[in-house]
A and B are shown apart, each in its own frame.
Chain A
Amino acid sequence: MIDIRSIHRQAMLLVREANEELQKMQVEAFVDISKKAFNLERDAARALLSNWDAEPTRSVLFRSAATLAFNIGEFDEAKKLVYQGLAGKPHSELAVELNYLLERINEAVEQSYSQKMVAENAYVELLRDKAVNVKLEPKDPKYNKAIVLDYIIDFLKNIQNSYANYSVANFRKTFTERDFPDYDGSISTLRSESKALAVNFSFNSFGVSIVADTEIMGFNEFNSRKFKSYKKELFDSFKSEVLLPDFNSDAYHQMIENKYTPEERQEIFTPIVSALDPRSKYTLAITDRYFKRIVKRHPALNKKSKSVLKPSLEKVAIEDYNVMRRTFELVSPSAGKKQKLMTDYLTYAEFQSGLENVEDGDKKVYFINRYEYKIVWNQGVFTIDDQYFDMFVETKNFNEIDLLFGKKILQKYASLLQRPENELSANERLVLNRMNAEMMRDWSI
């Protein structure tokens, strides 16, 4: 008789090894090791094929063998193993997991996933394990459970802002200029790489799994042990301090007030306070990864919580940035009249801007079509986070941001053109192709 437990154990050791490769984005190594793990785990599962009473072991082994088959792109085999698992007497939790896997296999088959796509999928799946699953439900029954798109956009944007601000605030608490000689530049890089990711969605109301891949954060620039430790903890702390706590508890208020200054609380929590306001149009809940069970409902914030998380602007001593004020006016050009409607203070604003040509020293580039992008103002800093040319700039001076952005694009273009093509990363090649397609330069190489 084969020793199922020992075979399964060997397979799981290989799975750990494969996952380590995946986190380093070593897809080939991930697939090679996963194949070895799959062969072992399938043998272990098959040994229990007709052993209907061996639950939960039987369905656990079939589920993990099917998952491994899926990860290496063996979809038919994966499907067969899921059905064999379900054909037994799996406990309800394992039946849910097997069915969830079946949905993913069917999706991969329908969309003809390549092996690379499967590996990417496995990467997303790894991230899903660390994600917070949030569900938004409308308070107003007007559209039944359907949720207005504006609420979703507003919520996701706020989570991103909160996370980036959290990351920077905690960086400032952890590091000094002795750790990073180009301190402001490092903060700028950190802000651009503090991206919250959505790794799963559900549309019964709206569910989203939010996570951050901090492994790749500052990958090229920061290698100190202290920074590695900081980024390893970052998303988990964000989860426990910003996404999951009991916002209305006194102990939480005390902890947050001790840890963060009013300015930092403004930066971190203002974006999410609107979602938890009693007048918010939707409610927030934390769910399991399938969005089926509510693990925790976030109640609306009481007055005290709001004053702790979002101290009023007047109370915050804003020393180093201006306040953004928006004024609405009704203008009648023919009569030359202006009527001021209202003025409000903002903590976040977006503007459209664009470039037609850029000059830097003796070099000049012309955009074939005006290149448009978004400028974001958040807590005193203007930023352009341009994914198309993989460029991030920030400054406190609005008047210089377009120029700064243009010059950086030109410098990047010149630098990419100078380097041998075989030395460029896949992303750099992609950016260079885009630049060649969008711009004309006035110098030769």
Chain B
Amino acid sequence: MVTFTLEELRESIELLSPVQMDFFSESCIVALEAHNHKTGCDLTVDGDTITSFKLNWSKKVNRNGYKEAKKVTEHAAEAISFFLSRQLTNFTVLEEAVIGTGFDYWLGYDEKHSNYNPLNFMQARLEISGISKEAISNNIQKRVKEKKAQTNPTDTMKLPAYISVVEFASPKAYFGIK
């Protein structure tokens, strides 16, 4: 089973700042520990690929800076989704979508990848959603359904987009193409 060491996120996403990545991975530790998970727990993944990963961490996070539960869950979901993008697609996260709407990040090939094209470096969109604990009204299937409903089925030239929804009570995730 592949292991994701949360503190290593800063080294795997080159184009986003290490400080930002540390903030996301610390949020992830807080979100997991809030549900009494310990280092070495399994993350089960459903979607285009059914698999699981081991989550490791050793950092002791000072929780004072992570009190807004909703934000913690969002950033924690970002950390997991960045890792899943690298593991389950050929892409990596390039940047946050600053201009334009309706999604969170652009994905593209890593510069070292044989398909990398410096003239066409953006390849797909990534939409991320985080849930602290599933409930009947707020579960992974429902979030995925809502995200998928945003795409008009008659579109002939759809932009490739991935959906990543992460739940921290289990922990589990859905990762798949839209």
Chain A residues close to B by CB (< 8 Å) = 1, 3-5, 9, 12, 15-16, 19, 47-48, 51, 53-58, 60, 63-64, 67-68, 89, 91-94, 97, 129, 229, 232-233, 236-237, 245-246, 249-252, 255, 288-289, 292-296
Contact = CB atoms under 8 A, between A and B. Distances in A.
B102 A57 contact: no
8 tightest CB-CB pairs across the interface, nearest first? A249-B137, A54-B120, A91-B159, A251-B135, A64-B99, A246-B137, A251-B136, A57-B122
B10 to A, nearest CB: 18
A225 to B, nearest CB: 11
Interface majority SS on A: helix, strand, loop or mixed?
Answer: helix
Given A60-B106, A94-B159, 11 more contacts: A5-B121, A9-B15, A9-B95, A54-B117, A56-B122, A56-B159, A92-B157, A93-B155, A245-B137, A251-B137, A294-B149
Contacts of A296: 146, 149
B38 interface: no
A327 B94 CA distance: 64
B95 A1 contact: no
Nearest to A89: B157
Nearest to B154: A92
Nearest to A47: B119
Contacts of A15: 98-99
B98 A12 contact: yes
A5 B137 contact: no
Contacts, number: 98
Interface string B107-119: 0000000000111
B121 A16 contact: no
B119 A4 contact: yes
29 contacts: A1-B118, A4-B118, A4-B121, A16-B98, A47-B119, A48-B119, A51-B120, A54-B119, A56-B120, A56-B123, A56-B159, A57-B121, A63-B99, A64-B98, A67-B99, A91-B159, A92-B155, A92-B156, A93-B102, A93-B159, A97-B101, A229-B68, A237-B70, A245-B137, A251-B138, A255-B135, A293-B149, A293-B150, A295-B149
A229 B15 CA distance: 29
Nearest to B103: A93
B41 to A, nearest CB: 25
A239 B28 CA distance: 24
B36 interface: no
Contacts of B15: 9
Contacts of A16: 98
Contacts of A53: 120
Interface residues of B, number: 33
Nearest to A51: B119
Interface string B76-106: 0000000000000000001100111110001
Contacts of A252: 137
Contacts of B135: 249, 251, 255
A236 B70 CA distance: 10
A295 B142 CA distance: 12
A139 B76 CA distance: 42
Given A4-B118, A48-B119, A54-B120, A91 B95 contact: no
Interface in B117-154: 117-123, 135-138, 146, 149-150, 152
Contacts of A233: 68, 70-71
A60 B100 contact: yes
Contact of B158 (A48, A60, A67, A91): A91
Nearest to B67: A229
Nearest to A5: B121
Contacts of A255: 135
A55 B157 CA distance: 11
A289 B136 contact: no
Nearest to A12: B98
A132 to B, nearest CB: 13
A57 B120 contact: yes
A4 B136 CA distance: 46
Contacts of A295: 146, 149-150
A315 B105 CA distance: 49
A153 B117 CA distance: 53
A275 B123 CA distance: 42
A101 to B, nearest CB: 10
A60 B124 CA distance: 11
Interface in B6-42: 15
A351 B132 CA distance: 46
Contacts of B136: 249-251
A372 B40 CA distance: 68
A9 B106 CA distance: 12
Contacts of B155: 92-93
A60 B108 CA distance: 13
Given A12-B95, A93-B155, A288 B102 contact: yes
A252 B137 CA distance: 7
A245 B119 CA distance: 42
B34 to A, nearest CB: 17
A3 B116 CA distance: 13
A157 to B, nearest CB: 27
Nearest to B134: A251
A237 B71 CA distance: 11
